[in-house]
């Protein structure tokens, strides 16, 4: 069905602003029902200033009070629900002038969680991408950078802590129980980096010395009862600061750096200059309530937001089409940091595998679907829909390819030049590419195709061995499927690390650069037919079309010295057998056994190697998906693996115990991961026999990783004791929202269990639970998103019941929080990939949602693109 779509914004239509700002002064009197915002804007003519052009400021959900220019009341303006257009400017706007505006917003009614809002009685902001316009009228675009001075006023008894960007200048007691604080940010920034926080909070703080000898104050602010859960986040922040100094020579540039945690937040965290605001999920952790995955995620997200201080704040984006300039680069930086924290090369490999799994399970499907877009989109309707795994994770892979092509030292040279040229500026992806190229005297003109073309390239491998000439011939050809608006693709510049494995083991790794549609290489003095190890360390984000024999894959799985490709070959073997509805044969079982028992291999690597490809990744290998068939085949394969290695799993469960108390280091976490995989496999092999051991682990665990893994095993395998343990879990942790989220998510993500009610029945019940809140994004994600987007076997039912639930949930969420609703709307965007009757049912419910006349722009764009409108 055709719908009227909102305005599209196009990258090539960018114009620099007619006006820009110098100094910005804000005076904000905080009140949940009536916050008064006074702004004083020093307005300057922009580079492309047109005489007599009006000053057009963005504003949403604001009550306009007054306007003054150069101290005088000004009445030549037009007001719409989206803009304040000011006409008749002094000297046609050719000289600087001062605009003063008073307006009012209502934070307590702001359920979108964009702009200024109230959470649990405290004030918070979220301004990226276009939230500042909900606070006051402004040139709300990233290329308008100004220095901010902010005065916050509030009732002291209710809001004793007043925080904003930069450095604290003064505090003052005011009449009638009010007080104020003045903050000044010495660095120009765009409005999306503005932040304020006010409320009853307490902090943990540390003072550190940077490499230049400067003393810096670090603070993490939380609600008082959460203070004991902040130590890991603080340690992660300190480690991030020192790592950035050592790796890139980048030092913390403010007197203080603050993190604030809030439970109502649309995303993971936000890098506001000097005042990062985080979802509590990525700050709060202690062994009793957080898993190893939580600890790792906190370390990664804290690092990510801190690294934005330079890659995003000091150098920011010219426009939102350049979002990957800061996000792709900063994801790469946090990945490298986390890999270094692993402490060993095998640990680095584990981190690399985890990142690639995320890319394949989430980004590859996006690249192949109706929402496919380059890492630098050419067009968007709603910018919030482009905070995607393509912009972030694929963007990080593109940055990683620079390092692969240039080496670590060459990449550092490029980074140094980038900051030298652009510190304090709003720039483009082309500026970053130019810095990398110029610093290393390389031609990266073809590399630009990674920024402008959507889709995952497919590389076909053809090999031929000439025994007489002792030559190995390798031919690679690349292609990329069509994507929305891009019927034809130019060749990519693809770096591929390869090694030829022979019995003599005398061939080193080489870097091949595939630039043409088809290229060939000849390797001399090859004394036997080698086994090709290609795209080592996942050197490029591609799909390989390589009909490698199972014998060769087994050899790579057993012997490849590249840990990523060793894991990869095992995944390929499992994937081929699952899709062909085959069980693991004796050779593969033996290979798994040898890997599990190898004392030289990292425990975390073993756990990853024995974890099967995700259902969603298997979907992408099929021309027509039957979700029930894939689930059944994958489950049968896993059960055979569990039974065939039963003795090994039992032995590992005992060997991987960590009896000396919880430690969050990588080695201990790896042991717990392998132990809990062993427990899950034992339950898979024979749940009645091993369920008592799972119950025992649940009851006696001294950490959330082990307790939750045992509970998950009981729930997933339909063990009778599961209900009693679920009830106990909720009672133990009812006062901890993040743990209750886990309780909700575990039940919503339960795959089908023979003899049990459908998971959807539980999901409907959970939605009526007293602890479920439709206006809390974490809670919504733990129930609705967990079922629709992380439980394919239960969601995809032939009767369409899962899709009916999805449609109901999207329509219920949209008026409350369009961003959260739009992410949920993505659950059906690959509907064309499925067989009937799934495909028809999905299409019908997409049409039902599209027919709603009050859809937000966020949801309408997703649904319309899914339908092809």
Q: What is the DSSP string of 647-670?
A: HHHHHHHHHT--TT----SHHHHH
Q: Is the pLDDT of residue 2 over 90?
A: no
pTM of the model: 0.98
pLDDT of residue 1: 32
Calpha distance 663→287 (Å, rounded): 8
Catalytic center residues: 305
pLDDT of residue 456: 98
Q: Is the pLDDT of residue 5 over 80?
A: no
High-pLDDT (> 70) share of the chain, %: 99
pLDDT of residue 644: 98
DSSP string, 376-430: S-SEES-GGGG-SHIIIIIHHHHHHHHHHHHHHHHHHHHHHHHHHHHTT-EE-HH
Residue-wise pLDDT for 168-186, tens only, equals 999 999 999 999 999 999 9
For residue 532, what are the β-bridge partners? 500
Residue-wise pLDDT for 685-723, tens only, equals 999 999 999 999 999 999 999 999 999 999 999 999 999
Residue-wise pLDDT for 489-511, tens only, equals 999 999 999 999 999 988 999 99
Q: How far is CA 648 from CA 476, 541, 566, 653, in A?
A: 41, 35, 20, 8
- Residues 6 or more apart whose CB falls under 8 angstroms from that of 511 comprise 404, 405, 495, 496, 497, 498, 539
For helices 759-767 and 737-748, angle between their N-to-C axes, nearest 10 degrees: 150
Question: Which residue, among 703, 694, 645, 716, has the nearest Cα to 671 in the 3D structure?
Answer: 703
What would the mean pLDDT of 77-97 be, rounded to a whole number? 97
Q: Is the pLDDT of residue 4 over 70?
A: no
Residue-wise pLDDT for 337-367, tens only, equals 999 999 888 889 999 999 999 999 999 999 9
Residue-wise pLDDT for 378-417, tens only, equals 999 999 999 999 999 999 999 999 999 999 999 999 999 9
DSSP string, 742-776: HHHHHHHTPPP-TTSPPHHHHHHHHHTSTT--TT-
Q: Is the pLDDT of residue 669 over 80?
A: yes
Q: 836 falls in which pLDDT band (50, 70, 90)?
A: very high
Calpha distance 429→235 (Å, rounded): 32
Q: 258 falls in which pLDDT band (50, 70, 90)?
A: very high
3-state secondary structure of 88: coil
pLDDT of residue 3: 41
Q: 295 falls in which pLDDT band (50, 70, 90)?
A: very high
Is 397:356 a contact under the CB 8 Å cutoff? no
pLDDT of residue 722: 98
What would the mean pLDDT of 324-347 be, rounded to a whole number? 95
pLDDT of residue 763: 98
Mean pLDDT of the chain: 97
Calpha distance 552→533 (Å, rounded): 10
Is 388:366 a contact under the CB 8 Å cutoff? yes
Residue-wise pLDDT for 197-227, tens only, equals 999 999 999 999 999 999 999 999 999 999 9
The more confident residue out of 345 and 102 is 102
Q: Is the pLDDT of residue 841 over 70?
A: yes
Handedness of CA 148, 149, 153, 159 (dihedral sign): positive
Q: 7 falls in which pLDDT band (50, 70, 90)?
A: confident
Is 502:528 a contact under the CB 8 Å cutoff? yes
């Amino acid at each position: 069905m055709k719908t009227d779509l909102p305005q599209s914004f196009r990258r090539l239509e960018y114009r620099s602003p007619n006006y820009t700002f110098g100094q910005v002064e804000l005076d904000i009197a905080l009140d949940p029902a009536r916050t008064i915002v006074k702004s004083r804007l020093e307005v300057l003519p922009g580079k492309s200033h047109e005489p007599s052009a009006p000053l057009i400021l963005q504003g949403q959900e604001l009550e306009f009070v007054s306007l003054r220019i150069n101290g005088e009341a000004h009445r030549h303006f037009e007001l719409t629900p989206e803009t304040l257009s000011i006409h008749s400017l002094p000297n046609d706007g050719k000289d600087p002038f001062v605009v003063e505006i008073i307006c009012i917003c209502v934070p307590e009614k702001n359920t979108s969680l964009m702009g200024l809002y109230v959470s649990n009685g405290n004030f918070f902001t979220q301004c990226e991408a276009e939230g500042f316009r909900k606070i006051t009228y402004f040139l709300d675009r990233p290329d308008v950078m100004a220095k901010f001075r902010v005065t916050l006023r509030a009732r002291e008894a209710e809001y004793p802590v007043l925080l904003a960007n930069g450095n604290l200048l003064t505090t003052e007691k005011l009449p009638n129980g009010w007080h104020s604080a003045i903050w000044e940010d010495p660095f120009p920034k765009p409005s999306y980096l503005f932040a304020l926080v006010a409320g009853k909070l307490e902090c943990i703080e540390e003072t550190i010395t940077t490499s230049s000898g400067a003393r810096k104050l670090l603070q993490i602010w939380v609600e008082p009862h959460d203070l004991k859960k902040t130590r890991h986040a603080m340690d992660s922040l300190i480690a991030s600061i020192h790592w950035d100094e050592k790796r890139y020579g980048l030092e913390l540039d403010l007197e203080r750096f603050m993190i604030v945690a809030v439970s109502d937040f649309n995303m993971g965290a936000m890098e506001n200059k000097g005042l990062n605001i985080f979802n509590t999920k990525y700050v709060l952790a202690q062994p009793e309530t957080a898993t190893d995955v939580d600890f790792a995620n906190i370390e990664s997200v804290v690092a990510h937001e801190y690294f934005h201080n330079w890659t995003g704040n000091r150098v920011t984006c010219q426009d939102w089409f350049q979002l990957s300039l800061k996000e792709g680069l900063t994801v790469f930086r946090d990945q490298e940091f986390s890999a270094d924290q692993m402490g060993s090369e095998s640990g680095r490999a584990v981190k690399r595998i985890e990142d690639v799994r995320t890319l394949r399970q989430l980004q590859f499907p996006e690249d192949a679907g109706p929402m496919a877009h380059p890492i630098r989109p050419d067009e968007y309707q709603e910018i919030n829909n482009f905070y995607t795994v393509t912009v972030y994770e694929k963007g990080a892979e593109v940055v990683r390819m620079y390092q692969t092509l240039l080496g670590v030292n060459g990449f550092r040279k490029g980074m140094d030049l980038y900051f030298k040229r652009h510190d304090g500026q709003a720039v483009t992806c082309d500026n970053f590419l130019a810095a990398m190229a110029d610093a290393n005297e390389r031609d990266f003109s073809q590399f630009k195709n990674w920024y402008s073309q959507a889709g995952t390239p497919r590389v076909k491998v053809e090999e031929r061995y000439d025994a007489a000439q002792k030559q190995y011939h390798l031919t690679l050809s690349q292609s990329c499927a069509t994507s929305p608006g891009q019927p034809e693709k130019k060749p990519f510049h693809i770096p591929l690390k390869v090694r030829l494995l022979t019995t003599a083991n005398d061939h080193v790794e080489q870097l091949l650069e595939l630039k043409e549609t088809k290229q060939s290489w000849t390797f001399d003095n090859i004394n036997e037919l080698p086994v090709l190890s290609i795209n080592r360390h996942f050197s490029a984000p591609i799909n390989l079309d390589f009909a490698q024999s199972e014998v060769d894959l087994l050899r790579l799985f057993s012997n490849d010295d590249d840990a990523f490709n060793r894991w990869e070959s095992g995944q390929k073997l499992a994937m081929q057998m699952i899709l062909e509805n085959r069980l693991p044969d004796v050779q593969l079982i033996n290979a798994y056994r040898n890997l599990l028992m190898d004392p030289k291999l990292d425990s975390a690597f073993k756990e990853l190697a024995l974890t099967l490809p995700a259902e969603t990744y298997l979907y992408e290998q099929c021309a027509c998906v039957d979700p029930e068939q894939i689930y059944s085949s994958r489950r049968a394969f896993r059960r055979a693996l569990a039974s065939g290695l039963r003795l090994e799993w039992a032995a590992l469960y005992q060997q991987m115990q960590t009896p000396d108390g919880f430690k969050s280091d990588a080695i201990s976490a790896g042991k717990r991961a392998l132990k809990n995989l062993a427990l899950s496999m034992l339950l898979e092999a024979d749940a009645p026999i091993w369920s008592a051991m799972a119950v025992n682990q649940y009851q006696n665990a001294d950490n959330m990783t082990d307790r939750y893994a045992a509970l998950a095993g009981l729930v997933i395998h339909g063990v009778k004791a599961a209900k009693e343990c679920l009830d106990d879990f909720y009672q133990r942790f009812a006062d901890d929202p993040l743990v209750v989220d886990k309780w909700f998510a575990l039940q919503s993500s339960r795959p089908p269990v023979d003899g049990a009610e459908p998971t959807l029945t539980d999901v409907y019940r959970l939605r009526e639970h007293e602890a479920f809140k439709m206006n809390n994004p974490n809670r919504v994600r733990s129930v609705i998103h967990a079922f629709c987007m992380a439980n394919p076997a239960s969601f995809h039912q032939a009767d369409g019941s899962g899709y009916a639930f999805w449609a109901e949930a999207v329509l219920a969420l949209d008026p409350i929080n369009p961003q959260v609703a739009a992410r949920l709307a993505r659950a059906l965007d690959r509907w064309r990939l499925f067989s009937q009757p799934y495909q028809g049912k999905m299409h019908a419910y997409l049409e039902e949602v599209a027919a709603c006349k009050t859809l937000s722009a966020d949801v309408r764009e997703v649904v319309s693109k899914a339908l092809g409108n």
